[in-house]
Amino acid sequence: MSVRAQARAGGPGASYAAHREGIDGAIRRVLESGWYITGDELAGFEREFAAYIGVGHAVGTGSGTDALQLGLRACGVGPGDGVVTVSHTAVATVAAIELVGAVPVLVDIEPDHFTLDPERLAATVRAAGGRGRVRIKAVIPVHLYGQPADMPAIMDVARRHGLYVVEDCAQAHGAALHDRRLGRWGHVAAFSFYPTKNLGALGDGGALLTDDEALARRARLLREYGWQERYVSEIPGLNTRLDEIQAAVLRVKLPHLDHENVQRLGVARRYDEALATGLVMPPVVRPGSLHVYHQYVVRSERRDDVRAWLADRGVRTQIHYPLPVHLQPAYQRRVGLGAGGLGHTERVCREILSLPIGAHLAPAEVEAVAAALETAPVDRGA
């Protein structure tokens, strides 16, 4: 099997194969129950996932984007409010801000960790206090690639300025900072269960988590038309529900998440060794954090040369993400930033490369990638 095929083998299909018996049984259980929306499986998964993260409440949603939107709405963020986040993220982060009518305010990242720079956050909030500026109401720190953002510093800025914090944990299932799981730091947290995630369903799905009972209650109203009593809307709401089959699948996979994250960490350590020359930069892990390596992202000023070398040896790579949100056609005018507006973000997007990683890559597959990295002449400046 080529390394290209091996990388595909480590994806969602491999996850299903690893848990086939449990998943098949869970799906059969739901089908035979005759109850497919907001039933016992969803209630069970919400309870179990909230306990795993260490919060009081989880609210299942139809997608991670919907979980972000629901979190913003539950916090009272709406038309005209400013929400600070990063441009180096999946576009869903910014799309969710616009779905509630709010204004995305994009700031630069820390160049080593690729996450929101707390100093830029503080400066942006201070500047927004001027006349005619958008009023900042919330911040979305994105825990990108499984790497924690600097939550102590971000929470300090939020407390000083009265901001809601909505954690984007779409790529950070099981990650932690200072022995505290991501999803426990902010007022609310949004997770995605897209099939490629560390904890992935067999379709779309998401969840909003919070320790705040009032926010959880409001999120549950918003999730289903604002119903407290069926067919009677207390507030205008949405229709975004995690279905019973996906919830049942996630209940099968959740007990294996920590072990599978350890397997990802093992792959990352082997790649770190292969990149010991330092001419291609491995991920820089934030001190005190548990990085869960949803992606293993390296940097090189000769990124395209490195990518071509690996492709010639059958190693499939990707770029997450090649174009920052503020330079994408749909958003360039809307966010008011042109080329050069976010220097660290733009440089990172020119240099990053994602290597194959997953909990179900075989050792031989990992070694094939590592060998290609160790022998690449471009890695040694040739």
- Token pair 């449990």: residue: 22
Q: What is the pTM assigned to this prediction?
A: 0.96
Distance of CA 276 to the CA centre of its chain: 28
Q: What is the pLDDT, as a whole number, of residue 238? A: 96
Reading the block at residue 291, the tokens are 């990085």
CB 91 within 8 A of CB 170: no
Nearest to 223 by CA among 212, 208, 210: 208
Lowest mean pLDDT among 40-54, 149-163, 277-291, 340-354: 277-291
The percent of residues in the chain predicted with pLDDT above 90, rounded, is 90
Phi-psi region of 146 (alpha: psi -120 to 50; beta: other; left: phi over 0): left
All structural domains of the chain: 12-107+114-255 (3.40.640.10), 256-380 (3.90.1150.10)
Q: Are strands 82-86 and 103-107 parallel, antiparallel or unpaired?
A: parallel
pLDDT of 371 strictly over 70: yes
Helix (H, G, I), strand (E, B) or coil at 300: coil
Mean pLDDT, the chain, rounded, equals 94
Buried-exposed string 275-310: b where 16+ CB fall within 10 A, e elsewhere:
beeebbebbebbeebbbbbbbbbbbbebbeebbebb
| pLDDT level of residue 378 (50, 70, 90 thresholds) | low
